[in-house]
Amino acid sequence: METRKRLAKIVLVFVGFFAVCWFPNHVLYMYRSFNYNEIDPSTGHMVVTLVARVLSFCNSCVNPFALYFLSESFRRHFNNQLRCRRKARRERSASYLLNSSAIQMSSLKSNTRNTVTSMTQLNGHNLKQEMSL
């Protein structure tokens, strides 16, 4: 029963945000549909139109924040994802440093047989490559 109440609260908050954000835009659409013969070039009308459009676009931006503050499970999973990503970056950078320090290369050119020998040590394993010139 408690989860249904929380879910109803979240849905009502989203509906409220939707109504507040889209209401000015719908009022302007209604005004323009009844006064479509006259164009209002005033600055006030342009500012109201701009604010109404920005509010309607902000509705998409407000939803994740509202969900974060209203839903404990969403907040917990979101925070876990942030920690996981941070941990993965640290592990990745540490493993990169270990791997890059474990690679040692050396080249040697032999004049007698005209070959180039390349020795590479990767994590304790020796790799040898010879090329004839």
Closest CA to 73 of 5, 13, 7, 15: 7
Cα–Cα distance, 47 to 39 (Å, whole number): 15
The reported pTM is 0.51
Tens digits of residue pLDDT in 77-111: 888 888 865 555 555 555 555 555 444 445 455 55
Find out whether 20 and 62 touch, Cβ atoms under 8 Å: no
pLDDT tens, position by position, 105-127: 454 555 555 555 666 565 555 66
Local structure of 39: helix, strand or coil = coil
Name the pLDDT band for 26 (thresholds 50, 70, 90).
very high
Dihedral angle, C-alpha 84, 85, 89, 91, nearest 10 °: 20
Q: What pLDDT does 95 receive?
A: 56
| 36: its two tokens | 């479509």
